[in-house]
Homo-oligomer: A and B are copies of this chain.
């Protein structure tokens, strides 16, 4: 009986592999009818349901078949993602997707669907999504599809564990510890000493920095609340990420006590403005506590002058946080790390490997120079989780440092990419991601002075952000003034909408201060080449021609 079972499984697998072989060979020779052939598998999933999978009795065979089928869908998607003949997206309005697309129904059903339908749902979910790894997707700071990182994330999902204790995540906890230490060494803190944790995104990392700063200066706030502290004020650039403002609201400071700093034309904080505002705040009876310096601003890619800001922080005894969510990756580059000069003087640093370093979402670290404050700030010593009488060294149970309880494993993909791609400190020349900076230089050089383009600020961009207006022929010769501004303001949204409808490429736009809508090109995908940059400008000109 048992042998029968094995033989039967084996036969099925043989069939499956023949089918897989046949399909895969065809796939390589002919992409066109892959979708229609999808249903022609030897395993009939139409009569199989989730309940037939493991842990069901005899569930192993259908489980393996099902997972291989899912992998087939995913590997086809990966292949297409890098294929420039595919679209970046197949745009539909919300109401269209909600109404249902040819058998793809988002509504939650009342009866269990067959595994065949589940596979169709998987395929359709990808079909109507956005290929963020496509070489012509420039819409976000996080782009690309790193194969090692992807493998790491598949493994992480399969391990399905939680970072709170060494007990259930021994390997991952140690990987996190070693990687954070390496990151602190790269920042320049002596011997990589300090502390840190991976958090669910840069906004939460920045929130941590404010919490820790408050704990350092006013530890009694933890127990007594904000009323135990004087009126505290925080400082950040008017170009900084909105998460600092979110943190000031959430943590009980109030957004009015977050003082925005003026910047120069390139979007960099003017240190003298910081000092003036610190003095002014003190004169009003407030206590300046925290300064955020941005290393790689969201729109302009600007790097605030950290050394000059650090001098002021020292002088007035304020916490210096460096938000390197976007620019932190450049610390790994000999050529570009000077842009973060002075970062070693920061008390805390946010650094998102899921941005410039191409790690799959989410992967963000908050790093702290002084050991103890992160734990002191957050620990509550829950007895059911952090028992002191375990058989191992419980200093490895790092969960109590977090504001989370359960914490997703974000470290493995990053650790694996580091191992696979070598991130030798201060010698990053063979890391493909830094080609992105060369590409943005190429774009800048190409459009600077080109007819119909106007740069938002003068000079070479500091990061891969290239900000520019495209002026359609009909607007170019208009006299400067309100009418031209109003027309120009509408150009980028219109071009973007047409791009999305045609699905050829995606790039961001926004207004900034009194500047009307402009394009913000960012490059963080190592798959992008000069031809993709050329494609983007051609597309902007093609679509914008008649506006």
A272 within 8 A of partner (CB)? no
A547 contact set on B, CB distance < 8 A = none
Closest residue on chain B to residue A378 by CB atoms: B246
A392 to B385, CA, bound (A): 46
Given A66-B147, A251-B251, decide whether A13 and B24 contact each other with a Cβ distance below 8 A.
yes
In the complex, what's the smallest C-beta–C-beta distance from A439 to chain B, in angstroms?
Answer: 13
Interface residues of A in 360-400 (CB under 8 A from B): 360-362, 364, 377-378, 380, 382-385, 387, 389-393, 396
A407 within 8 A of partner (CB)? yes
Stretch among A129-137, A341-349, A469-477 lining the B interface:
A129-137
A118 contact set on B, CB distance < 8 A = 148, 151, 416, 419-420
A282 within 8 A of partner (CB)? no
A316 within 8 A of partner (CB)? no
Given A147-B54, A252-B226, decide whether A106 and B155 contact each other with a Cβ distance below 8 A.
no
A264 within 8 A of partner (CB)? no
In the complex, the answer to whether B510 meets A387 with C-beta atoms within 8 Å is yes
Report the count of interface residues on A (CB-CB < 8 A).
181
Q: Which of B178, B385, B417 contacts A106 (CB 8 A)?
A: B178
Interface residues of A in 218-274 (CB under 8 A from B): 221-228, 231, 241-243, 245-246, 248-257
A200 within 8 A of partner (CB)? yes
A530 within 8 A of partner (CB)? no
In the complex, the answer to whether A420 meets B50 with C-beta atoms within 8 Å is yes
From A142, A364, A420, A500, residue with most partner B Cβ within 10 Å:
A420
A203 contact set on B, CB distance < 8 A = 402-406
Closest residue on chain B to residue A112 by CB atoms: B422
In the complex, the answer to whether A361 meets B161 with C-beta atoms within 8 Å is yes
Instruction: Pull 14 A–B residue pairs with CB atoms less than 8 Å apart, ordered by A.
Output: A50-B420, A97-B171, A107-B178, A117-B419, A121-B416, A122-B416, A126-B158, A142-B162, A201-B404, A226-B226, A299-B384, A361-B408, A362-B408, A408-B408
Closest 4 pairs between A and B when the two form their complex, measured CB to CB: A252-B252, A225-B254, A55-B527, A391-B497
